[in-house]
Structure 1
Amino acid sequence: MFDLPLIFLVTSILLLLSIFSSKLAERFGFPALLTFLAIGMLAGSDGPGGIQFDNAAAANMVGSVALAFILFAGGLDTHWYNIKPVLVRGVVMATIGVALSAIVMGLFVCCILGFSWQDGLLLGSIVSSTDAAAVFAVLRSRRVSLRDNLRSLLEFESGSNDPMAIFLTLAVLQVISQNTMSWTELLPRFVVQMIFGGVAGWLLGRGAARLMNRIRLDYEGLYPVLGASIVLLTYGLIEKMGGNGFLAVYVCGLILGNSDFIYKKSLIRFHDSMGWLMQIIMFLVLGLLVFPSHLPRVAKDGLLSAAFLMVVARPVVTYLTLIGSSFSFSERTLAAWAGLRGAVPIVLATFPLLLGHPKSNEIFNMVFFIVLTSVLLQGMTLMPLARFLKVDKPLEYRPRYPLEFDKTENDVRNETRELDILPGTAVVGKTIGELHFPPGALILLVRRDKNFLVPRGQTVLEPYDTLLVLGEPEALKKAREVITRREIDNENEI
């Protein structure tokens, strides 16, 4: 019989330790997922926690649900105007690049480590996807970003390559378990699954945006619940219909995040929190599933595999898929080294465990070892390499306003916009009372450096001030014209 209070107590302690450990990760510049995994391992049967957990089916189920929410949150927070310039290259890296990485890695494991070609390709498929959250957690911890389109490329590639890795892993497992199945049968199935998943995700995303604007729920708190149900519906429906549910969830989030609907900011905040919660739970469960005492047995093969993946497989694939692009050699080199492995490979490594594959335990431990090595080595050296290659830039300062406006069902027209006061414009040195703003526009706040001023009629505007303005689109357009005007014909025109 379960001791429910004890379960609640242990769960809360693990979650709190994970949250506090993220500060430690930020200070020392390595991804927080490493601390989540470490806490899970310490709490497991081999650690001081002594929690007995070896249920691969439960870990797989938790991982699949978590991945659906993480991918949806990633799509929801991805801006189309950022990924549009790198869309083609990102798609190539997320599909052909993942397949090439799996093949190259599989050949190494087969020829050097003595695996069969099926097991080698299985291991290569499992570790073929990258983790965007791990990359940008490292950069954010040191207040650094990447310049030009490099960040957008890595973000889109890492966020969209999981479906390909999942398909390859399941396809190889089907070939192993059903010797009669051929790759000529799997390839058309892959094309159908990916196309159907992408189109269905697009349709469901458009439908979700319309639903958000048309439905009139009595309680605001039900809108985030509606968003969560859309995630589950999209994944479950598309998987049952034979499509790729993970790709559908990502595309649905991408379309919804780039649409205009009520309570959008609230929904984005909710799913950002859900994404973090799912990452913590997933890493803790996977940490509990691994037995640290088994890792030394695969240390040699794991180190060789990790080194080959980081130094050979990922760079070769990256340089090949970026041939003819506008990215410089330095940017391609950083992209090659930014292929951190995260939670997805560990989740995929639970599939062979579920099927009772003879080498499933060895493959799981090797994958876990590869992920840890990748996070430690690549995570700790990513920022110095970005600076050495001169592809870094200071992290853009994003102010957090003390007030925030979100569209509701009673006010779908008004929106907020930031208007910058540039040197040389007519409004510099004038008071807010002298601006003669259009009637439909209201100045909510004035941001000066990192401080916020309550706007008053006597407030004098200075160069590089930023006005947070509320109004309808047409009024905001006229307000921008007032702010950007450079010539003064007479005093009444201001």
Structure 2
Amino acid sequence: MAIYILIAAVIIIICLTVSKFSSKIGVPVLLAFIFLGMLFGCDGIFKIQFNDFSFAETICSISLIFIMFYGGFGTNWKKAKKVAAKSVLLSTLGVVLTAGITGLFCCFVLKFDLLESMLIGAVISSTDAASVFSILRSKRLNLKYNTASLLEVESGSNDPCAYMMTVIILTLMSGKTSAGEILYMIFAQIVFGVLIGVATAFLAQFMLKRMNFGTNGFESILVFSMALVSYSLSSVIGGNGYLAVYITGIILGNMEIPNKKSLVHFFDGITGLMQILIFFLLGLVAFPSQMVPIILPALAIALFVTFIARPLSVFAILTPFRCPIKQQLLVSWSGLRGAASIVFAIMAVVSPAYLKNDVFHVVFFIVLFSISIQGTLIPFVAKRLDMIDNKSDVMKTFNDYTKEVPVQFIKLPIDEKHPWANKKVCSIHFLPNTILALIIRDDKQIVPRGNTTLLAGDIAVLSGPSLEKKFTGHLTEIEIDSDSEWIGMALSEIDLDSDKLVTLIKRGKRIVIPSGKTVVKENDVLIINKTQK
């Protein structure tokens, strides 16, 4: 057991390290995770024998839950609602059109069976939220016409439709269903998925507001659990679990809930880990040696989807909205296939439906082509189409994003001898570029006004610009014991190096802000700042 844990930890560290280098050379980081999986797999260098598709399908499906949830939770609805109609149509009608056109190509050109052709079309019909989010964030692609929000909402919400089509086609291929059962399945997938998603979101909000957790981080655990409840409960009653969890995410992410920023950071990390897990595992179960026979048909499908099926679907939907041609071209190019497509392909492999072709490796090759070629060239295509908007910030399209503000706070106790005691705020002369941001009085927080009077015992909280990151220091502690020669000396009398300064003294339970006249006492702890040159 210990050796497997060690291997898993090492793999995660390697993936994180590779992600830093891949972004510098312009390769999508998720592609690097896939190649690492292939490197560790049966046909790779490390020869890890892993071909359990059922286990892989379970792990990848669970990972996809959190990718879908965060796709909704991280979407800023205020930005997204402007493009909501377009995004919803792309994630539903667009997915159906892409699947149908691709299925017809596979059937009549590549001579696949009709249902198997439609299965391939359904599996690769959705765009990948993880891939799109990763590229938009890492490359800071600020796009015109709210295109970033359009792509984010579309890619985050179109997997449920692709999943539903995949399930329906696999059911038809099993030959054990009727038209009435198919119609009910469609009804249940949509209606139960929506109802459970909405109900879970409001239940989670109610619990977050009413349950006062004494331990930091418990809110994250609760929301983590509610995401699982949303998916599993919907799936149990026949609904679309991925639709439910996405709806839960987008509603909850745009509600007023406690500690939302910490939740965003938590799920950012969880989703990153899930992306590493899912793409590495997908690379691990792939057999590059088995791809040779399917390269030509897979390449034909990849080219057809990229240059014909996806553009036809996008133009059919966005043209009535009078979207600029260059925006439609960029949206067409940005339809990346990714984790969901391969997960759905694994579902097909483990299903009882009979498959004549190696659907998994066909889809795997299409995903590799999409992420490596389309993903790598998205910044180039956006620039060539003049779609870069230097006045916008793509990060603001993600929920609860706040641009880093270089402000720091100083806590200043006011005692009876303090010159500010019993003075109104308007009569106090503060240092330039500082402001009294808050007064803490008897554990109560007071927002100061000009006529507010500072009293002895108050704690004044001042704010001002923080030091830039390039100016850093190094803090060390020196405890003054009975043998120290500094006992009884004023700080001005102590011979410190020119790059050192005593910034604080811990004296028992007290904190002393020193001056040159401050006398050092036994058991003091001196906090010394040493500037870095």
Interval containing the TM-score (normalised by the shorter chain): 0.7 to 0.9
Equivalent residue, structure 2, for 1:475: none
Equivalent residue, structure 1, for 2:338: 342
- Checking the alignment, whether the CA contact within 8 Å between 2:35 and 2:283 is kept in structure 1 is yes
**TM-score, length of structure 1 as denominator length:** 0.80
- Count of aligned residue pairs for this structure pair: 425
Residue 219 of structure 1, CA deviation: 1.5
Equivalent residue, structure 1, for 2:269: 273
Equivalent residue, structure 2, for 1:218: 214
Cα distance between partner residues in 2 of 1:68 and 1:110: 32
Which of 141, 145, 167 aligns to 1:144? It is 141
Unpaired runs of 5+ residues, structure 1, are 406-428, 453-494
2:44 aligned with 1:31, yes or no? no
Letter of the aligned partner of 1:111 in structure 2? Answer: F
Residue 24 of structure 1, CA deviation: 2.0
Which of 151, 154, 158 aligns to 1:157? It is 154
- Checking the alignment, whether the CA contact within 8 Å between 1:102 and 1:121 is kept in structure 2 is yes
Residue 96 of structure 1, CA deviation: 0.9
Cα distance between partner residues in 2 of 1:197 and 1:160: 13
Equivalent residue, structure 1, for 2:379: 383
Equivalent residue, structure 2, for 1:467: none
Q: Against the structure 1 CA distance between its residues 433 and 122, is the aligned structure 2 distance closer, same or farther, given a 3 Å change threshold?
A: closer
Which of 2, 6, 10 aligns to 1:9? It is 6
Cα distance between partner residues in 2 of 1:82 and 1:447: 30
- Checking the alignment, whether the CA contact within 8 Å between 1:30 and 1:137 is kept in structure 2 is no
2:176 aligned with 1:172, yes or no? no
Residue 354 of structure 1, CA deviation: 0.8
Cα distance between partner residues in 2 of 1:404 and 1:304: 57
Q: Against the structure 1 CA distance between its residues 431 and 101, is the aligned structure 2 distance closer, same or farther, given a 3 Å change threshold?
A: closer
Deviation string 1:9-65 (CA, Å, 9 cap, x unpaired) is 211121111111111221122321101110111101111111111111111101111
Q: How does 1:166-205 map to 2 (within 5 A)?
A: 166-178=163-175, 180-182=177-179, 185-205=181-201
- Checking the alignment, whether the CA contact within 8 Å between 1:209 and 1:256 is kept in structure 2 is yes
Letter of the aligned partner of 2:187 in structure 1? Answer: V
Equivalent residue, structure 1, for 2:51: 54
**TM-score, length of structure 2 as denominator length:** 0.75
Cα distance between partner residues in 2 of 1:174 and 1:10: 38
Equivalent residue, structure 2, for 1:68: 65
Structure of higher CA gyration radius? 2
Letter of the aligned partner of 1:78 in structure 2? Answer: T
Residue 217 of structure 1, CA deviation: 2.2
Q: Against the structure 1 CA distance between its residues 357 and 435, is the aligned structure 2 distance closer, same or farther, given a 3 Å change threshold?
A: closer
Q: How does 1:312-461 map to 2 (within 5 A)?
A: 312-359=308-355, 362-394=358-390, 396=393, 399-401=403-405, 432=434, 440=447, 444-446=463-465
Letter of the aligned partner of 2:317 in structure 1? Answer: T
Relative to total residues, which structure has the larger helix share, 1 or 2?
Answer: 1
Equivalent residue, structure 2, for 1:129: 126
Percent identity (aligned): 36
Equivalent residue, structure 1, for 2:15: 18
- Checking the alignment, whether the CA contact within 8 Å between 2:119 and 2:170 is kept in structure 1 is yes
Q: Against the structure 1 CA distance between its residues 191 and 432, is the aligned structure 2 distance closer, same or farther, given a 3 Å change threshold?
A: same
Residue 200 of structure 1, CA deviation: 2.1
Deviation string 1:172-196 (CA, Å, 9 cap, x unpaired) is 00001025533x6424532332132
Cα distance between partner residues in 2 of 1:115 and 1:306: 15
Residue 85 of structure 1, CA deviation: 1.1
Residue 360 of structure 1, CA deviation: 6.6
Unpaired runs of 5+ residues, structure 2, are 396-401, 410-430, 440-444, 449-460, 472-533
